Structure 1
């Protein structure tokens, strides 16, 4: 394992993050704060509680997931696409580093950025609502697995994208709608029975449900199933990345 190569890629990506701190950190935190104000105050005044939890506190896990998912994908996809765009990806391929070391560097940096943003938003939430975390270790574990999984997914998008527009398609047209429909602002138990069944086909439901369980000890889906779905998605992303580097698809051509 060439740890120096991993560290070089990781450090370069983290430096870019802090060079664009306004766009990378301040913007998502401000956007999430607006969600707290609009949903927590406006809608929260009409919906006092959801399953015994104040509505303002109930939406915190969903808001964190919304930011973490989109930021993980955006950071990882741009991180690997930009070297392709300027041509430096060929230098990386020619260097004595394996695909594992490349993935560790880029995905590790993207996951770190997303984790940092998620924790900042969590800290911000305490200014708006009274919040307790019943299972802090599980909360960190779910947050870490989510950051890594969706950074891997973003890495795949960056490898396969042909232009900057394609980088934005999946986060805007797929991930954001899935998060909004995945119980981020409501419990799926509030839906009609038929729509509850439909909601279970949304993979984001399992992420939000498990993450919300770590806060309040309640979940729409069994916690073991949520963990299994995250592990399955993680394994699938790793398999796709291995195949991409093994065949050189979208990398060497």
Structure 2
């Protein structure tokens, strides 16, 4: 394992992130505050509690997942797409590092950035509500796994995209709707039976449900299924990346 090569890629990506640290810090704070104003004040006045949890606290896990998933995909996809766009992708490909080490460097940096954003959102949410976490270890585990798995997805999208429009296509048209329809701001038990069944085909439901369980001990689906879903998703992303580097698809072209 070429640790120096991994560190070089990771350090370069994190340095680029810290150059815009103020922007990276302020943006999630403002977004979180707006969500609490809109959902907490407007909808919270009509929905006082959800399964014994105040609505303001209930939306925190979904709000964190919304930002973390979006940031993970965005950070990882841009990180690998930009070297393709500028032609510098051949530098790491010709360096004495394996495809696994390249993935660890890029995906590790993207996951770290997203984890930082998630921590900022949680800190901001604590200013609005009295928030307690029943299972802090599980909460951290779900947060880290989500950052890693969706950074892997972003990495795949960055390799696949042929232009900046394609880079935004999947996050805007597929991922974002799945997040909003995955119980981010409501419990799927509030839906009619038919829509509850349809919603269970949304993979994001299992991530948000497991993350919410870590906070309140309540979940829309069994916690075991949530762990199985995120493990399967991570494994699929790793397999796709391995095939891409094995064949050189969208890299050597």
TM-score > 0.5 by shorter chain: yes
Deviations 1:32-57 (A, max 9, x none): 22101110111111110000000000
Contact 2:209 2:226 in 1 (8 A): yes
For 1:27 and 1:131, the matched residues in 2 are separated by: 22
Q: Name the structure 2 match of 1:28.
A: 28
TM-score, normalization: structure 2? Answer: 0.98
**Alignment check: 8 A CA contact 1:157 1:167 kept:** yes
Structure 2 counterpart of 1:16: 16
CA contact (8 A) 2:133 2:216 kept: yes
* Matching residue of 2:203: 203
Confirm or deny that 1:65 pairs with 2:58. Answer: no
Consecutive aligned runs of 4 or more in structure 1 exceeding 6 Å deviation: none
**Residue 56 in structure 1 maps to residue 61 in structure 2:** no
How many residue pairs get aligned? The number is 253
Residue number in structure 2 paired with 1:243 = 243
Once the two structures are superposed, what CA deviation does each residue of 1:187-224 show, in whole Å capped at 9, x if it has no partner? 00000000000000000000000000000000000000
| Deviates further, 161-170 or 234-243 | 161-170
Q: Corresponding residue for 2:191?
A: 191
TM-score normalised by length of structure 1:
0.98
Q: Larger deviation: 18-27 or 8-17?
A: 18-27
Instruction: Say whether 1:168 aligns with 2:168.
Output: yes
Query: What is the root-mean-square deviation of aligned Cα atoms in Å?
Result: 0.8
Query: 2: distance between equivalents of 1:33 and 1:241?
Result: 36
Identify unmatched segments of 5+ residues in structure 1: none
Stretches of structure 2 that go unaligned for 5 or more consecutive residues are none
- 1:225 and 2:225 aligned: yes
